[in-house]
Structure formats: structure tokens, C-alpha cells
């Protein structure tokens, strides 16, 4: 019957096998088949069923597939099928038909559960990392996709397993060097998931040369004109750099900021902005902002800002900023990027102030941006970006603040009206009908006054012409007039923030504000009324403004002294009610949002209420205003007296610190001069030592000459008979011998004088050394050393007298030498009668020798006289040095005596001041006012002294 049914095509007997049964049979084949081909076919069949029967395959086949990965690694085809099957089971990237059948929640649960089962055994992830190392495309690519899916499902757990795996991260970094773009691009996606929210892995990836490889890929793909691969690389770079100070520093030190400049070379024709290019450029701008974010450490941000200026990146961004045809979202992000690149960096702020827009006539970029900010037709996000740029330009930039305020002053306003200044735009926005322009202009003007009391006073001079025929009013008065007219809440909030910033820490501005009699009644009326929730914010700001008028009041106006304003609050508002209204500001939800970060980010214009810098001012003033409201008049007076006394004491201490600092500087200069003199003294000693050695050489030469003269004398005695030709010749020769003996005696005398001169030079050396030690000891002992200087002066006088005696002896020797020469010449000129030829030759030879010896002696005498002159010059210079040192020493002694006297006066004065302060502290304690302990004060003074000491060391 079965045969007939089969031939005739009838229905087969029994039910058809279900999907689960088929999967079970395939799993059995994978587990039990001995032939590799059978197992390969079974795994291929499981792969084809894994998408439709995801749950069944995952439950029944996962263990067998993992076993295949462990045992059949030699066959790349079955490994690839197994990896693809696991990927289909774990991944949530299902087709649309399957997504319609199953809910998204169920899909997510399945992927997460299967991932958890797979990573329960950490060896499975390690095995997968080993497979990713294989170069075979059919193994490596499915392995990368599977590992990426695991990271998407259970990121932190898989990250930890890879982190502890030996060379786990390094193996994955090799994917970026793969020549096959598919694997390289999926490797970038894998590293994106791997580096999410894990600083340790981010550091390892960065030090595995990730920056170099990613930047090379971006360059190869065409920078901003590249495709989605550039986008993936930029997202990976953001993961590596965001909130990771170590990687940011490594990126900067590796000169990778310079390689970012070509990204922003968009060209002149900006018509071809594809969607992918806009996305890429947006991510590039965000990457620049990551490096200079205000949340980064100030030092790292500053170094990145400087690097961006020096490599021309800031200039390139400003070019995009002023270009035409740039999409609105790119322009907005560029403005935000430029804002953070120049924030707090004086060099970059100065450059930005010099940038001009390509218009006719050229206008500064700041003016063009402000025109967009106060133009209500511009997009809201663009206006917020311009406001942020203006705030960053003025942040810690007193020069820029002064330039902005100067455009409002009467002396600098352009009378021709040809150009529009920043001040005119701000005033125009401040008093326009658009509430958002009012708020932006008020906040911008408040930033121009931030922490700058001088500009707050100068801004009081600004006069505005409200209408033709009416007298001009001040800017302060016009702000209060608009405030009292009951405009929109956003406008009033902006004006109140401007007034609070203007009046804070500026008593003159407070006096001008109180001088208008309508201002205080308006504020008290606003605070006292019971209005709706929308008006509570205005009431809180009015309370803050009134509190600033009390706290910074210098009591120059009799009707608005501190005490009278407090009484007014007590009568019309009540202190508790006033403090409650003041607390409305910090309790507001928009206040908390604005306090989080400097950039103004609002979901809608209606939420634009608070500025980040203003929230800091509220935190600073809320507590002190609350304390000031509860203080009595007596306490205020006593506090003012104590403040004045402390200020006087501080001024006195500051003055004496300045005096002591100046004296220390003078002492330091004198020490330097002493060091220079000491070096000069050492040079002189070296010179004297050199001269002593030269004198010794001359002594040796003299001794040698003396020996030669002795030999010549013996030679003359042996040939004495030849000179006895007649009586006259014999007498002349005997006289010549006597002259030679006298010459020898003179030389012996000269040798003795030279020895005395050596001893004098040694005394001079010792006296100069003692003089150096005397100068050093004069700074510590302040007195003493006068007797030693007197002795030194006496020795110098003796040395001068000896030199004079030596010069006289030398001149006497020179005269005798001349006489001797004359005698020799007369002797040789006399005729010698009866002389034979041999006797005449001998006599002429002797005369030649005598003349040569006399010439040598004459040259020696001349050399000795020159040495005497040089020694005399050195002695004169030494005596002048001693005189200079004596003058310096006396000056130092006088200065030390004066400083000691001033310090004694200071100690007496400080003791009196300490007694007064202790008496005042006792009075304050009796009155119940908390007073700092003396230990705190002494620790504070010690801190100041330490700071002064550090400054001295730096000086």
C-alpha cells in the first residue's frame, strides 16, 4: 500500500515533522556524526532555520555550536556557519516581517537572555577573540559581527571579560589594519561598542595607536566628504576622548589637533552639502568641543585652545562662520565650537575680536553675530548660540568687556551713524518689542559687567534719548522705567538680572538706583503682592535686587540708609515673607537647569529665564542678604566699626609687608652686587697668582744670569795678564771689576726687595680673602670688622711706600748702569800702546761680552720696572675695590639699623592693634556676634606669610 501511495502520489501517512523536531534531529547530527561533511551540512541547515526558529535554535543548538567552534577549528566553512547561526540567535537585527510577528520587547529579552547564556562561560568569549584573529574572511567577519552583538546586549560584562583576557583589546585593534574594508568598517563598529563608558579600555585603545589609524581612515575616505565610515570613525573618536583627560592629553601631545584642520576646509562653493557631509561636519565640530569643553580641567582646556590657535584651526572655523551658504545647523554648531575655543583664552579672544565679516564696509564678526541675536526672525537655536559666543568672548576678558562698554559711552559713539556698534545693538535689543531680544540683550550686557566694578561705574554715564524734545535719561533709569511698565515676564526677568549684576559689589550704582524715589516703592509693592506662580519668579528677583541695595549700601543717602530700608521691609513685607520670596529663585526648576552648564540650552523660548553666571551670583548673595536683613542697626554699626578697624589694620600690615618686601629686594640686590665683587676679587687673586709665577720665572732667569756672570769673572781672572799692558789699562779694568761687584750687590739687594714684594702680595691675598669674609659676615652681624679694615688700609699704605722705595732704587740702578756704559765706551776708545795683535783681539772680545751682559742686565731692569708698574696698577685697583666694599658695608649697616628701627616700631604698632582687636572681639562676643578664634586668624596670617615667602623666592 505504501508503494502504491508513493506511485500514485497520495498523501503520506503520519504527521509532518515540526520545526523543533527538525532542529532536534539536526542537533543530533551535529553531535553524533563522525564525518565532517555531515556536521557541516547540519550546521548549514541550522543557520537557515535560525532566523525563523530563533528561540528553538538558541535553546537546543547553542551548546552544540559552541562545541563545533572548539573542535572543528581546522575547517573554516563550518566555523563560519556556526558563527553566523549564533549571530542570528543573539542579534536583535531581525527582518521587518519577524518584527511584525513578535513584539520588540520579546526580541530584546531573547537577545539579552541568549547573550547571558553565551558569556556565562568566559572561555566562550576568549574563544571568540581567538577566532577573530583568524585571517580567513569566512571566520573573521562573522566573529566580528557576533562579538559586536554581544557587546550591544551585555556591554559591561563583555567589556570586563575582554579587559582581563590576555591581549584581548590588542587583538581587536588589529581589525583596523585589515585590508578588507568590510572587516575594517565592522571593526570600527565593534570598537565603538567596546569603548562605551569604560575609561580603562579607552586608554588601552588610545595607546594602541588608535588615533593615528582612525585619522588615516578619515583622510583616506575624504574627510568631511567621506561616507558613513567617516561618521563611524568620528563616533569612535568621541568615545575615546569624551570625559577622558588622559586620552585628551595624549591626543594633544601627539600633535593630532593639527591633523583636524583639513576637516574644515570646505571651499568657497558651499552649494554641495549632502546629508552625510552635514552629519560628518557636525560630528567633527563636536569632537573639537570635546577637547575644549568647560567641564574639562582648566589646564587641559587652555593648552588645547592654544594648540588650535597656533595650528590655524580657529582661523578655519572663523572662515566657516563668516562663509555664505552654510546650513543652519552647521552654522549653529560652528558658533558653539568657536565659543568654547575662545572661552577664557585671551589670545583666542583677541583674535576673534579682530575677525571681520566679508561685507562692504567690513564689520566685526561680533557685530554681525549680535545683529542675528537681536533679530527675531532668526532661528531660536542660532540666537542661543550667538548669545553663548558673546558670553564666551567676554569670559575673563576685561579688555573685551571694556571695548563693548566703550561703544555705549558718549565720547566713543559714532556721530555719523554710518556704522552700527555692539553697544547700539545691545541697547536696541534691550528696548525692542521682542521679549526674547530683551532677555538676550540684558544677559549679554550683564556679562559685559561681570566682575568689573570700573565698567559698572562707567556704564552709569550712558544717556539715552527716549523721544524728541524730552531730556535724555540714564540707561539705569530707562531699565527701571521699562520694569515698572509691566512688560512680559521674560523681559522683566532679564532686566532684573541685569540690574542685580550691575548693582552687586558697586556702591555707587546702588546710590544711583536709590536716588530715584520710585524704585524702592515699586520693589516693595511687587514683593508684598500675592500673585500667581508666573509672577513668583519676578517677586524673588525683586527681593534679591532690594537685598543687594541694602547689603551694598554705603548710607550716603539719608532717606535710604540700611536701617530705614530694613524698617520698610519689616513694615510692608515682613522679614519672613521677604526671605520666602527670595527663596523662590533657587527653588525654580529653570534655575536648576541653568546652573548645570554654561551653555544656554532651552527647549523653547518660554523656558529661557536664567543665565548660568547669574545662578552663581544668586548662590553667593542669597545667604549674606538673609543675614543682613536680620541684623539690627547697632550690630551694623559695630560691624562697620570692626570692618573699618580691620581694614585699617590690614592696610597697615599690607604697608609694612610692602616695606619689608622692598627691603628684601634691596638686600637681594646688594647680595648680587657682593657676589659680583667677590667674583672680581677672585679674578684679581688669579691675576696676582699669575704675576707671582711670572716673578718666580724672572727670579730663575736672574739666578741663571748670576751664574753666567760668575763664570765670566773667572774667565777674566785667568786672562788678567793680558790686560796689564800699561798702568792705565790695569786701573780701568780694576774699576770695571769694582763696578761689577757693586752691580752684583745691587742685584742681591733687588732680589731681597723682590722677596719682600712677594710677602706683600701674599699679605694682600690674605687681606682680600678676609675682606670677602668680612663682607659676608657684615650682613649677619650688622656690626664689626672696622678694625680689620683699618689694618688693611695701613698695609696698603706700607705697600705703596715700599713700591716708591723700589722705584727709587731702580732709577738709581739705571743711572749707575748708564755711568758704567760711559766708562766702558771711554775704555774702549783709549789707544793701547805697545799692544800686540793677539792682545787687541782678546780685549775687543772681552769688551763685546761686557757690552752684551750690560745690555741683558739693562733689559732685565726694564722688565722689572714694567712688572713694578703693573703691580702698582693692580694694587691701585685693589685699593679702589676695598674702598667700594667699605662704602657698601657702611651703607648696609645704616640700612640694617633703619630696618631694625622700623621693625621695632612695627612690633609696637602691631601690639597696640592686637590689644584693640582683642578688646573689640570681647565686645562682639558680649553682644552675641560670632567671632573667629585667634588660632584661625594666626593660621590665616601664617598662610599670608607663606604666600609672601613664596613670592620672595620667586622674585
Is the pLDDT reported for residue 267 higher than 70?
no
> Is-cis flag, bond preceding 611, omega within 30?
no
Are 548 and 629 in contact, with CB atoms under 8 Å apart?
no
Residue keyed to cell 523681559: 491
C-alpha span between 261 and 311 (Å, rounded): 8
Render pLDDT for 108-128 as a digit per residue (tens, 0 to 9).
Answer: 678 889 999 999 999 999 999
Res. 871 pLDDT band, cuts 50 70 90: confident
The more confidently predicted of residues 101 and 564 is 564
State the average pLDDT for the chain: 81
If you ran DSSP here, which 8-state letter would residue 408 be given?
A: T
Is the pLDDT reported for residue 720 higher than 60?
no
Residue 859: the pLDDT is 75
Render pLDDT for 496-519 as a digit per residue (tens, 0 to 9).
Answer: 999 999 999 999 999 999 999 999
Residue 704: the pLDDT is 85
For residue 538, give the nearest of 577, 487, 593, 466 by alpha carbon.
Answer: 487
Residue 775: the pLDDT is 44
Write out the H or E segment, with its range, that includes residue 905.
Answer: helix 837-927
Within 436-585, strands assigned E span 463-464, 473-474
Render pLDDT for 587-623 as a digit per residue (tens, 0 to 9).
Answer: 988 999 999 989 988 888 888 999 999 999 999 999 8
The more confidently predicted of residues 896 and 943 is 896
For the record, the C-alpha cell of 678 comes out as 667677590
Q: What are phi and psi of 464, to 5 degrees?
A: -120, 140
Residue 181: the pLDDT is 92
Q: What are phi and psi of 473, to 5 degrees?
A: -120, 160
Average pLDDT over residues 17-21: 75
Residue 7: the pLDDT is 32
Q: Can you say how many angstroms the Cα of residue 622 is from the centroid of all Cα atoms in its chain?
A: 33
Render pLDDT for 406-464 as a digit per residue (tens, 0 to 9).
Answer: 998 876 555 444 578 898 999 999 989 999 999 999 999 999 999 999 999 999 999 88
The Cα angle at residue 441 between residues 437 and 446, in degrees rounded to 5: 150
Residue 690: the pLDDT is 87
Res. 869 pLDDT band, cuts 50 70 90: confident
- As to burial, measured by CB atoms within 10 angstroms (0-12 exposed, 13-18 middle, 19+ buried), residue 828 is middle
Are 175 and 193 in contact, with CB atoms under 8 Å apart?
no
Q: Among 37-46, 121-130, 846-855, where is mean pLDDT lowest? A: 846-855
Res. 84 pLDDT band, cuts 50 70 90: very high
For the record, the C-alpha cell of 640 comes out as 562697620
Residue 953: the pLDDT is 46
C-alpha span between 553 and 339 (Å, rounded): 36
Res. 273 pLDDT band, cuts 50 70 90: confident
Is the pLDDT reported for residue 822 higher than 50?
yes
Residue 132: the pLDDT is 92
C-alpha span between 193 and 202 (Å, rounded): 11
Residue keyed to cell 585603545: 205
Residue keyed to cell 570646505: 266
Res. 129 pLDDT band, cuts 50 70 90: very high
For residue 370, give the nearest of 306, 308, 443 by alpha carbon.
Answer: 443
C-alpha span between 832 and 840 (Å, rounded): 8
Is the pLDDT reported for residue 104 higher than 60?
no
Average pLDDT over residues 765-783: 48
First to last CA, the chain: 115
Residue 910: the pLDDT is 78
pTM of the model: 0.65
The more confidently predicted of residues 852 and 414 is 852
For the record, the C-alpha cell of 158 comes out as 563583555
For residue 406, give the nearest of 365, 460, 368, 458 by alpha carbon.
Answer: 458
Residue 817: the pLDDT is 61
The more confidently predicted of residues 842 and 318 is 318
Q: What are phi and psi of 47, to 5 degrees?
A: -60, -40
Residue keyed to cell 647680595: 671
Average pLDDT over residues 159-166: 91
C-alpha span between 182 and 232 (Å, rounded): 13
C-alpha span between 447 and 292 (Å, rounded): 21
Average pLDDT over residues 865-892: 75
Render pLDDT for 345-383 as a digit per residue (tens, 0 to 9).
Answer: 999 999 999 999 887 788 899 999 999 999 999 999 999
The more confidently predicted of residues 947 and 111 is 111
Q: Among 124-138, 148-162, 919-933, where is mean pLDDT lowest? A: 919-933
Q: What's the sign of the alpha-carbon dihedral 926, 930, 934, 938?
A: negative
For the record, the C-alpha cell of 912 comes out as 597696640
Are 235 and 192 in contact, with CB atoms under 8 Å apart?
yes
Q: Among 140-149, 252-261, 425-434, 792-801, where is mean pLDDT lowest? A: 792-801
For the record, the C-alpha cell of 431 comes out as 528696548
- Listed in sequence order, the DSSP H helices in 562-632 are 562-572, 575-582, 584-587, 589-594, 612-630
Q: Can you say how many angstroms the Cα of residue 882 is from the centroid of all Cα atoms in its chain?
A: 48
If you ran DSSP here, which 8-state letter would residue 473 be given?
A: E
Res. 630 pLDDT band, cuts 50 70 90: confident
C-alpha span between 438 and 311 (Å, rounded): 38
**Phi-psi domain of 734 (left: phi exceeds 0; alpha: psi -120 through 50; beta: other):** alpha
Q: What's the sign of the alpha-carbon dihedral 463, 464, 469, 470?
A: negative
Count of other CB atoms within 10 angstroms of residue 844: 11
Give the C-alpha distances (Å, rounded to integers) separating 822 from 147, 743, 744, 813, 904.
119, 15, 19, 14, 79
Is the pLDDT reported for residue 48 higher than 80?
yes
- pLDDT over 90 for what percent of the chain? 41
Is the pLDDT reported for residue 712 higher than 90?
no
Average pLDDT over residues 661-683: 88
Render pLDDT for 884-912 as a digit per residue (tens, 0 to 9).
Answer: 877 877 788 887 788 778 778 777 877 77
Average pLDDT over residues 784-813: 62
Residue 454: the pLDDT is 92
Amino acid at each position: 500500500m505504501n508503494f502504491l501511495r508513493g506511485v500514485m502520489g497520495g498523501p503520506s501517512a503520519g504527521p509532518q515533522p515540526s520545526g523543533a523536531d527538525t532542529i532536534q534531529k539536526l542537533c543530533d547530527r551535529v553531535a553524533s556524526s563522525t564525518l565532517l561533511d555531515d556536521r557541516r551540512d547540519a550546521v548549514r541547515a541550522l543557520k537557515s532555520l535560525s532566523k525563523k526558529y530563533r528561540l528553538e535554535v538558541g535553546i537546543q543548538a547553542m551548546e552544540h555550536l559552541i562545541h563545533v567552534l572548539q573542535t572543528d577549528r581546522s575547517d573554516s566553512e563550518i566555523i563560519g556557519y556556526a558563527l553566523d547561526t549564533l549571530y542570528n540567535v543573539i542579534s536583535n537585527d531581525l527582518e521587518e516581517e519577524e518584527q511584525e510577528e513578535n513584539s520588540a520587547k520579546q526580541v530584546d529579552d531573547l537577545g539579552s537572555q541568549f547573550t547571558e547564556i553565551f558569556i556565562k562561560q568566559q572561555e566562550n568569549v576568549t574563544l571568540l577573540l581567538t577566532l577573530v584573529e583568524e585571517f580567513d574572511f569566512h571566520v573573521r567577519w562573522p566573529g566580528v559581527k557576533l562579538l559586536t552583538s554581544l557587546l550591544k546586549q551585555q556591554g559591561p560584562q563583555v567589556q570586563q571579560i575582554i579587559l582581563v583576557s590576555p591581549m584581548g583589546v590588542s587583538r581587536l585593534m588589529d581589525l583596523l589594519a585589515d585590508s578588507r574594508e568590510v572587516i575594517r568598517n565592522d571593526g570600527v563598529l565593534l570598537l565603538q561598542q567596546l569603548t562605551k563608558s569604560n575609561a580603562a579600555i579607552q586608554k588601552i585603545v588610545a595607546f594602541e595607536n588608535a588615533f593615528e589609524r582612525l585619522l588615516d581612515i578619515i583622510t583616506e575616505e575624504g574627510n568631511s566628504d567621506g561616507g558613513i565610515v567617516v561618521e563611524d570613525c568620528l563616533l569612535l573618536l568621541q568615545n575615546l576622548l569624551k570625559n577622558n583627560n588622559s586620552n585628551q592629553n595624549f591626543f594633544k601631545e601627539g600633535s593630532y589637533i593639527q591633523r583636524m584642520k583639513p576637516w574644515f576646509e570646505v571651499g568657497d562653493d558651499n552649494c554641495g552639502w549632502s546629508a552625510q557631509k552635514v552629519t560628518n561636519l557636525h560630528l567633527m565640530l563636536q569632537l573639537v568641543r570635546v577637547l575644549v569643553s568647560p567641564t574639562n580641567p582648566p589646564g587641559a582646556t587652555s593648552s588645547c585652545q592654544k594648540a588650535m590657535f597656533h595650528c590655524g584651526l580657529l582661523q578655519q572655523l572663523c572662515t566657516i562662520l563668516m562663509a555664505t551658504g552654510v546650513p543652519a545647523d552647521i552654522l549653529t554648531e560652528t558658533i558653539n565650537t568657536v565659543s568654547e575655543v575662545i572661552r577664557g583664552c585671551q589670545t583666542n579672544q583677541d583674535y576673534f575680536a579682530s575677525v571681520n565679516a566679508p561685507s562692504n564696509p567690513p564689520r566685526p564678526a561680533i557685530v554681525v553675530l549680535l545683529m542675528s541675536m537681536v533679530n527675531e526672525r532668526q532661528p531660536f537655536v542660532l540666537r542661543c548660540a550667538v548669545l553663548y559666543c558673546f558670553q564666551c568672548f567676554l569670559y575673563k576678558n576685561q579688555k573685551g568687556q571694556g571695548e563693548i562698554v566703550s561703544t555705549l559711552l558718549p565720547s566713543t559713539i559714532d556721530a555719523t551713524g554710518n556704522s552700527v556698534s555692539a553697544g547700539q545693538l545691545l541697547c536696541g535689543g534691550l528696548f525692542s518689542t521682542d521679549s526674547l531680544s530683551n532677555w538676550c540683550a540684558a544677559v549679554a550686557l550683564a556679562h559685559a559687567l561681570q566682575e568689573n566694578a570700573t565698567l559698572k561705574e562707567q556704564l552709569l554715564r550712558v544717556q539715552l534719548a527716549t523721544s524728541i524734545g524730552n531730556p535724555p535719561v540714564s540707561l539705569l533709569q530707562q531699565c527701571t522705567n521699562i520694569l515698572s511698565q509691566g512688560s512680559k515676564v521674560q523681559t522683566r526677568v532679564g532686566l532684573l538680572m541685569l540690574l542685580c549684576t550691575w548693582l552687586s559689589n558697586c556702591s555707587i550704582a546702588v546710590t544711583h538706583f536709590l536716588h530715584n524715589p520710585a524704585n524702592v516703592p515699586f520693589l516693595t509693592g511687587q514683593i508684598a503682592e500675592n500673585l500667581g506662580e508666573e509672577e513668583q519668579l519676578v517677586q524673588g528677583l525683586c527681593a534679591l535686587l532690594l537685598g543687594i541695595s541694602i547689603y551694598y549700601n554705603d548710607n550716603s543717602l539719608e532717606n535710604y540708609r540700611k536701617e530705614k530700608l530694613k524698617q520698610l521691609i519689616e513694615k510692608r513685607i515682613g522679614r519672613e515673607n521677604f526671605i520666602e520670596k527670595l527663596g523662590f529663585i533657587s527653588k525654580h526648576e529653570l534655575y536648576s537647569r541653568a546652573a548645570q552648564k554654561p551653555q544656554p540650552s532651552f527647549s523653547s523660548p518660554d523656558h529661557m529665564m536664567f543665565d548660568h553666571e547669574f545662578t552663581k551670583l544668586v548662590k553667593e548673595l542669597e545667604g549674606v542678604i538673609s543675614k543682613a536683613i536680620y541684623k539690627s542697626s547697632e550690630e551694623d554699626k559695630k560691624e562697620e566699626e570692626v570692618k573699618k578697624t580691620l581694614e585699617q589694620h590690614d592696610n597697615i600690615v599690607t604697608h609694612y609687608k610692602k616695606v619689608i618686601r622692598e627691603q628684601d629686594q634691596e638686600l637681594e640686590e646688594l647680595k648680587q652686587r657682593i657676589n659680583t665683587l667677590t667674583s672680581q676679587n677672585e679674578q684679581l687673586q688669579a691675576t696676582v697668582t699669575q704675576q707671582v709665577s711670572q716673578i718666580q720665572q724672572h727670579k730663575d732667569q736672574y739666578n741663571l744670569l748670576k751664574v753666567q756672570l760668575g763664570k765670566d769673572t773667572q774667565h777674566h781672572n785667568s786672562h788678567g795678564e793680558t790686560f796689564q799692558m800699561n798702568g792705565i789699562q790695569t786701573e780701568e779694568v780694576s774699576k770695571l771689576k769694582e763696578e761689577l761687584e757693586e752691580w752684583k750687590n745691587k742685584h742681591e739687594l733687588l732680589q731681597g726687595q723682590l722677596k719682600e714684594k712677594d710677602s706683600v702680595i701674599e699679605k694682600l691675598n690674605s687681606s682680600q680673602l678676609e675682606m670677602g669674609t668680612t663682607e659676608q659676615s657684615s650682613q649677619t652681624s650688622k656690626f664689626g670688622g672696622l678694625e680689620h679694615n683699618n689694618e688693611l688700609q695701613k698695609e696698603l699704605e706700607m705697600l705703596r711706600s715700599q713700591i716708591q722705595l723700589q722705584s727709587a732704587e731702580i732709577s738709581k740702578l739705571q743711572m749707575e748702569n748708564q755711568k758704567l756704559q760711559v766708562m766702558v765706551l771711554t775704555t774702549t776708545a783709549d789707544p793701547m800702546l805697545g799692544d800686540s795683535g793677539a792682545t787687541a783681539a782678546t780685549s775687543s772680545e772681552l769688551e763685546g761680552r761686557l757690552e752684551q751682559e750690560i745690555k741683558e742686565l739693562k733689559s732685565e731692569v726694564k722688565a722689572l720696572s714694567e712688572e713694578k708698574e703693573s703691580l702698582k696698577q693692580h694694587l691701585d685697583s685693589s685699593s679702589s675695590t676695598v674702598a667700594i666694599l667699605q662704602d657698601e658695608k657702611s651703607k648696609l649697616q645704616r640700612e640694617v639699623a633703619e630696618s631694625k628701627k622700623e621693625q621695632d616700631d612695627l612690633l609696637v604698632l602691631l601690639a597696640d592693634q592686637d590689644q584693640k582687636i582683642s578688646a573689640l572681639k570681647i565686645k562682639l562676643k558680649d553682644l552675641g556676634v560670632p567671632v573667629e578664634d585667634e588660632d584661625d586668624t594666626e593660621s590665616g596670617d601664617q598662610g599670608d606669610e607663606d604666600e609672601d615667602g613664596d613670592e620672595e623666592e620667586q622674585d
